[in-house]
Structure 1
Amino acid sequence: MCRSIHTLHNFEPEATSEEVHAAALQYVRKIAGTTRPSKANQEAFDRAVAAVVAATQQLLDELVTTAPPKNREAEATKARERAVRSGRYAPAAS
């Protein structure tokens, strides 16, 4: 899937509406194959984003887990370290 879409479930604090919208927007962009729809397609694009936002929020609200919530900063640090080890990114300058 799209690398820009990140896991939103089981984090403390919970995913914000902005994060849910950003994930939905990336998903619709990927499916549509465009980052900016034409004027003729804008309404359909916006409706699709709204539908994905609603479905995503419903899913997040209904998911249950017994695992403790993950820490956002710790997970971001781990992801950066994996990216550096894989050679995709250079280490941050000190």
Structure 2
Amino acid sequence: MCRNIKTLFNFEPPATNDEIHAASLQYVRKVSGFNKPSQVNEEAFNRAVQEVAIATQQLFDTFVTNAGARDREVEAEKARARSAKRFGTE
């Protein structure tokens, strides 16, 4: 799966519509093979992005979790630490 798509569920603050749209766009680009579709395919491509975004929001709205929401800044710092350890850029 595409490594650039980040986990969006169960964060504080919650994922924004822009973040959900960006993840949906990445997903549709990946499965379609189009970075930018031709004019003839543009409507179908954009509709797919919109439908994936809607489905993602509906999925988040129906999820139930007992885990506390994760803090975006704390998770970003953990990711930076893993990257520094992996690539030796400490």
TM range (shorter): over 0.9
Q: Give the Cα separation in 2 of the matches to 1:36 and 1:77.
A: 33
Tell me the equivalent position of 1:35: 35
Q: Which one-letter code corresponds to 1:84 in the other structure?
A: A
Segments ≥4 residues shifted beyond 6 Å: none
Structure 1, residues 34-80: CA drift from partner, whole Å, max 9, x if none?
21111111011001001100100000111110011000000011111
Tell me the equivalent position of 2:77: 77
Q: Give the Cα separation in 2 of the matches to 1:18 and 1:30.
A: 18
TM (norm. structure 1) is 0.90
Aligned alpha-carbon RMSD (Å): 1.2
What residue ranges of structure 1 are gaps of 5+ in the alignment? none
What residue ranges of structure 2 are gaps of 5+ in the alignment? none
The 10-residue stretch of structure 1 (58-67 or 76-85) with the greater mean CA deviation from structure 2: 76-85
Equivalent runs, 1:52-67 vs 2, <5 Å: 52-67=52-67
Aligned residues: 90
